[in-house]
Structure 1
């Protein structure tokens, strides 16, 4: 159920289609879709008395057992609409939270999802016990579960406090790991983008990480960091993160603070975009807006237009720069992407020129591994190698160049 109004008319159809896909991802079956145009939503029932009556008829006709609204409902709206319809009512946020509860695998991911769900549902507990028990499982009941939702508020607040404490401990461990990578001068690349753009496919293509990749929304939830060696030998890390989406719930942004913190410490971000999507530009704008909110705008970005195999590359016009158009599932796509990443790294790192004695093979190997070594030509007259490349500002290569 969705209302098209002055604030959302530009992306309303896309948003409704997205809600349908979210419902399917949450293992629900869409039996009917009802939309309405009005200047602004009704403060009490979102859709007004007339549409409520129409909705009751459709529920009886299609024997629906759940209604999903494409708007975040206030606790009062949720209760009022639920009482009028006689069946459970949830909103877009709860569907997204439900999918996250399905996808979470790590301890941290599960804790973050549970925290987001509890904080979202806490003010909505009044009258929910009856509705949840009537639902008997399904969308909107995963995660904390109906028994926890029916307990008193104090118990839930205590649970929230415990989860936050556990997450702080996990976050401290993640911070130590991140600082260790930074101390080792490891170049860090983060994958960000709209959900289902192909981030996990790219991670798998470059690192053979074998992460879960599927044509589904939020296929990846827990962040995964893998080492990747460029063809030149330079070792970097690649981190896959949760996909962004229109109207990403505030509760999720807050709960996944430590996960999103990973992106904030990257040296380069790969903004993966589904080039075949009809709403590509809207997806780009959503991600750019969230990047601004998460304070990621100061990090260099390479836009990776993916899924070139599902469109006509000859008619494609990029809107973000620098960018590269690829198909992550093809060998040529992997090579194109590697080359584009290499050029981006060269712009970020500091150029160096060093002479290395012929017997100092270990130094050359270290340069290959810890810097982007472009050439290493042997000069027979001096019996030394002339090594040229690009290195992090505090790496041993820059120190050697300064000492020379």
Structure 2
């Protein structure tokens, strides 16, 4: 993975816990930072003597000639908390070149009906996609179902409203709030009345019933893009599949917090000899299978590519050519890719006496 020092151009506050950071890309690096709508950047920072990397989706469309990513502050999140507090305009920061397979390329000649379901900061790559299609695919219709906690936490609220007004008949947005704000009536009478919500839209979490109703309003869907927490994506994918949409037309990007791992059934103590081909070098080491391959490589300072460390991106992608590895979670790969031997090294542990793999990035 290539990192470059970029200067922060500006910060834009989107919600109380979310901001967008715009980067200045110098002319000599323009080609390095060409991206497709939906891709992400890996940001790196030294925090308390430890290098931390996290991936954040690009929110700007490719045609805009701007590079920006939207970052939501996560409770207990080292990187997001540090960025919100310490990254400011004119700071130089380490930014990895764009990556990711969750992409949408606009086709000026196409006439499609595209569906988007997002929740929370999952709107970030979707925003890039929507803007790109609005600019370069004028005959296509788009429908977005977007879940937020309450009115104050709708990321890009004003911008989405503006786009809906500007592109009437092409972009349709449905908001769903899990916890709409409630306010008491003003004055003396308010002391004796329960707080009420003034929200007139969908309320509660996005569930199967809401997704089905949304699909009925959209008509025949040509392609769907899902981005948010795992439970929402799995529910939406199942509902879309049951409606008749083929699996290869459903694209998804999991947004999950680092550290959310399933327990492993690997029996520690059985040694494995691991051979890794990385950046033109061959690295060998022995492991008892108790740690992911990525952790082992970091420990011996092999400088492997990585970002989220939670199985949600594919920065640490590799292909097994000999032996077998077991993954704890695998959000970023589909069944076909797993069958072909691809693994996420942040989740994969050796389970055979010999394991050989090639890094893809």
Q: Same fold (TM over 0.5)?
A: no
Larger Rg: 1
Structure with the bigger percentage of helix: 1
Structure with the bigger percentage of strand: 2
Structure with the bigger RCO (C-alpha within 8 Å, sep 6+) is 2
Q: TM-score, normalised by structure 2?
A: 0.28
